[in-house]
Amino acid sequence: MRSILWRIVMLAAFAVIAILLFLPSTPASRYLPAFWANNIPKIILGLDLQGGMHLVLSIDRDKAIENHTQRLAVAVEDALKKKEIPYTGVERRGLDTVTIRYLDLASVETIKKAVSDEFGTLEGPSVEDASLVYKLSGDEVKRIKDWAVSQALETIRNRIDKFGVAEPLIQKQGENELVIQLPGMKDPERAMQLIGKTAVLEFRIVDESMDPFKALSVGAPPDAEVIYQQSLNKETGVIEKTPFLIKKESLLSGDSLSDARVAFDSQYNEPYVSLTFDANGARQFERITSANVGKRLAIVLDGNVHSAPQIKEAISGGKAQITGGFSYEESTDLAIILRAGALPAPVTVVQNVTVGPTLGQDSIEAGIKAGILGGALVLVFMLIYYRVSGAIADFAIFLNIVMLLGAMAWLNATLTLPGIAGIVLTIGMGVDSNVLIFERIKEELRGGRTPRSAVNAGYDRAWWTVIDSHVTTLITAAVLFQFGSGPIKGFAVTLSVGILINLFTSLVGTKVAFDIQNEKLRVKRLSI
């Protein structure tokens, strides 16, 4: 009897704990004390249940190769200057080609040696029109393409994590696409701005040698270009464009940032983005500002001039600001983007599906109705076919569902439509376990055993069969979790937890009910 009592206490304790864990995830949470409702983990609803965004993005891998080749051309030119090798020009041509125009034939071999020593990823050269033509190797092109996709994935994940979306799905699809699911996203436009912005930050000197409007009409100097500053006129609501003549050379980039935060101007209380450089970036920024006192330093983000303040003195400490009449939301998003880093290449939206909360609610209601209907039919069947023993099985199934929901809340799991299917499948597994045990007990009773002996023998003989069926299903769930994604993982988690709980309720929960009948009530005949 003591063993029975302890098992009853254990089952009751697990059930109570499960209910306490699950209640904050229900509409009843509004009636719960704050310490209870706010401090207990909750079940998170997936995209298909609470609505949100489903995006498919395409990475422009060719642009990544082009950018890499451009940086390589600059690096080659710097190397030739450093070694004082004569040349007339270095430029990128096409996606993956770097051309070096030599001064005379005497310098050709020197250029070849310098390039082969420092730039092993360049193949060639071939000679065309007094130029040495190098191409990126095939392996390097493949590496850049793969890197562009993986780097874009990590950058977007960092941005979304800082944005605060719960349980996002971000994964690679095919060679150059990313699938992104954002459950509960209520501002799709803001999310698109956050995800899709390239965020290439550059610090460049303003060229004061020519009026920018004149440069637009007659052409800019070879080492400069016209870039616009776009700003919203708050009175008219029109975006105004102001041209700036900017030096092409980037003196400092966003790669040197260690932090970006929103701050407020003490005079006008307007938000701006405060930048902090790493140790190397701070030294470069101080050198740049000390060498260009009196000039204007343009802060260029994705080809748009955000501000161009005059350098009044050398700036030490590695601090800078981006101003531009931002709203708090705009400055927050810009800070998030800069902290997360720039995308290696532009992205385009291939698919953009927004699931509304109404559709999600419909899915929840349909899933609940299906679960209740299926569960009710199973419970009725067990009652009719196995009578009192069926009622015991029904109680075990109910206990299984309660514990499963509590465990999901404790794990902060995500519930999706496939997850609801996993709950229904768990009910089926629970029924299957009890059917196996009950049929074994009936065989023992037909063999002439007493109810107590038949129950013990039935559980002993069904034990390994039940274990085997549950372990094989658990292996399948583990594979689905490992290689699946999004809703499939939700299904795998629900099924795995349900199987483990079902083992407990089938082999312990129902057994204690039979033991009460046999040892306390001393029934002469089992209703089975």
Same domain, 21 and 105: no
Residue carrying structure tokens 């190769």? 65
Coil vs helix vs strand at 233: coil
Q: Give the CATH number of the domain where residue 135 resides.
A: 3.30.1360
173 found inside a domain: no
Answer for the pair 502, 426: CB distance below 8 angstroms, yes or no. Answer: yes
**CATH number reported for the structural domain that contains residue 10 in this entry:** 1.20.1640.10
**Do both 71 and 24 map to the same domain?**
no
Strands 297-301 and 201-205 come out as antiparallel
Do 447 and 304 fall within a single domain?
no
Do residues 19 and 71 share a domain?
A: no
Query: Are 208 and 323 members of one domain?
Result: yes
Q: How is residue 294 annotated by DSSP?
A: T
- Of the residues 140, 157, 178, which one is the last residue of a structural domain? 140
Number of structural domains the chain divides into? 3
Distance, in Å, from the CA atom of 41 to the CA atom of 408, rounded to the nearest integer, reads 9
In the prediction, which pLDDT does 166 show?
65
Is 45 in the same domain as 76?
A: no
Give the CA-trace dihedral at 210, 214, 219, 222, to 10 degrees.
10
Q: What is the DSSP string of 193-209?
A: HHHH----EEEEEB--S
Helix 328-340, helix 138-163: angle, nearest 10: 140
| Arithmetic mean of pLDDT over the chain | 84
**In Å, how far are 212, 224, 229, 423 from 216, measured between CA atoms?**
6, 12, 15, 66
- Whether 391 is covered by a domain: the verdict is yes
Query: Strand, coil or helix: what is 185?
Result: coil
Pick the more confident residue, 279 or 243.
Answer: 243
- Write down which residue in 91, 121, 140 finishes a domain: 140
Residues 306 and 419 reside in one and the same domain: no
Asked whether residue 514 is assigned to any structural domain, the reply reads: yes
In a domain, 527, yes or no: no
pLDDT at 141: 92
Q: Residue 205 sits in which domain range?
A: 200-329
Domain termination residue (choose one: 309, 329, 349): 329
Q: Provide CB contacts within 8 A for 5, sequence distance 6+.
A: none
Helices of type H across 411-450: 417-446
Residue 14 lies in a domain: yes
Instruction: Let me know whether 301 and 207 are in one domain.
Output: yes
- The distance of Cα 166 from the centroid of its chain, to the nearest Å, equals 9
Q: Measured in whole angstroms, how far is the alpha carbon of residue 147 from the centre of its chain?
A: 18
Shared-domain flag, residues 403 and 313? no
| Overall average pLDDT of the 20-30 stretch | 87
Residues 505 and 412 in one domain: yes
Residue-wise pLDDT tens digits, 83-141: 888 888 888 888 899 999 988 888 888 989 998 988 888 988 888 888 999 999 989 99
464 and 487: one domain?
Answer: yes
Q: Are 436 and 512 contained in the same domain?
A: yes
Cβ atoms of residues 297 and 337 within 8 Å: no
Element (H, E) at 379: helix 357-410
| Residue of 453 and 249 predicted with greater confidence | 453
pLDDT for 358 beyond 70: no
Cα separation of 506 and 436, whole Å? Answer: 10
CA atoms of 331 and 273, how far apart (whole Å)? 6
Least confident segment among 135-144, 304-313, 416-425, 515-524: 515-524
